[in-house]
């Protein structure tokens, strides 16, 4: 059985990471998770077992001990396979934090996995993962432009229900400038990031309030109508809201590390 356990982020690492999860596969065998765009990228550590990821026709294999960066997904054919018994730690980055951490064009790393290091431990533990994350911090952090950080925060606060043109105007830059700068820092265009936020907002509502009707979800998350919600779910999750399955602890198997 594959399960996800959420861990708290150390205070000195909250600048970079939103949360830390641990995927555990207790038995011998494999667990396959269809991965979908989430709007966030990840630093991971294969503490036990091994894993394979595929996206956009490219594959990546990680053996025990591999520390990796997983870029933004922009494709819907991605897949993640964990071979167990296995323990895979995942630190979910703030949308703008990978730009600081890697000092690279994050848009150019979409649908890619980079090996950052190898850390083998006899008895892997969350504290060892947070130590690994600490060592990845750059000595001299060059923050992304303040308007991109603000753009991310406003899109998140609105659960994606926001006019990107209006946001650009509010920030005092053109649509084209916002798209170019946002994609370089975040890895996705602002409109795509906003769509991910709407989906995540809908999933959280459905997980927390299973009695809600689809029309209630449409209204609260800000989709135009029920067909808009259904079409977006079919594109991103390959299912409809009515057929969506959430597991017992609220983790959607179609979106790695989102709940």
Specify the pLDDT at position 252: 47
d(CA 204, CA 222): 14
Selection from 98, 22, 100, 72 nearest residue 196 by Cα: 72
Q: Please, are residues 49 and 82 in contact by the beta-carbon 8 Å criterion? A: yes
- Other Cβ atoms within 10 Å of 127 Cβ, number: 10
180, containing H or E segment = helix 175-186
Contact 96, 144 (CB under 8 A): yes
List, for the chain, all residue ranges whose pLDDT scores fall below the cut of 50: 248-259
Q: What integer pLDDT is reported at residue 257 of this predicted model?
A: 35
- CB atoms under 10 Å from CB of 14, counted, come to 12
- Report DSSP state, residue 206: H
**Which residue(s) pair with 4 in the sheet?**
23
Say what the pLDDT of residue 177 is: 96
Among residues 106, 104, 7, the alpha carbon closest in space to that of 47 is found at 7
Distance in angstroms (rounded) separating the CA atoms of residues 235 and 36: 10
> Is the separation of the CB atoms in 79 and 35 below 8 Å?
yes
Q: Which of 38, 76, 90, 73 is nearest to 197 (CA)?
A: 38
Is 255 exposed, middle or buried, given 0-12, 13-18 or 19+ CB atoms closer than 10 A? Answer: buried
**Which residues contact residue 100 at a Cβ distance below 8 angstroms, ignoring those fewer than 6 apart?**
16, 138, 141, 142, 143, 144
- pLDDT for the residue 246: 59
Q: What is the pLDDT of residue 221?
A: 84
pTM of this structure: 0.89
- What is the model's pLDDT at position 250? 40
Place of tokens 């969506």: 244
């Amino acid at each position: 059985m594959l399960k996800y356990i959420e861990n708290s982020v150390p205070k000195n690492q909250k600048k970079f990471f939103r949360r830390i999860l641990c995927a555990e596969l207790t038995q011998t065998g494999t667990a396959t998770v269809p991965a979908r765009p989430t709007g966030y990228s990840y630093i991971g550590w294969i503490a036990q077992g091994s894993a394979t990821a595929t996206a956009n026709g490219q594959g990546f294999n990680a053996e025990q001990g591999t520390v990796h960066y997983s870029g933004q997904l922009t494709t819907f054919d991605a897949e993640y396979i964990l071979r167990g018994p296995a323990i895979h730690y995942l630190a979910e980055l703030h949308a703008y934090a990978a730009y600081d951490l890697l000092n690279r064009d994050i848009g150019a790393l979409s649908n890619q996995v980079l090996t950052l290091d190898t850390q083998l431990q006899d008895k892997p533990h969350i504290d060892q993962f947070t130590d690994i994350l600490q060592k990845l911090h750059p000595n001299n952090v060059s923050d992304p432009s303040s308007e991109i950080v603000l753009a991310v925060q406003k899109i998140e606060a609105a659960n994606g229900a926001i006019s990107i043109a209006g946001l650009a105007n509010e920030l005092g830059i053109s649509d084209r400038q916002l798209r170019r700068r946002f994609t370089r820092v975040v890895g996705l265009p602002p409109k795509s990031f906003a769509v991910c936020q709407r989906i995540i907002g809908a999933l959280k509502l459905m997980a927390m309030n299973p009695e809600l009707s689809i029309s209630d979800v449409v209204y609260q998350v800000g989709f135009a109508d029920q067909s808009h919600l259904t079409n977006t779910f079919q594109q991103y999750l390959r299912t409809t809201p009515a057929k969506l399955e959430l597991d017992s602890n609220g983790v959607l198997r179609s979106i790695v590390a989102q709940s």
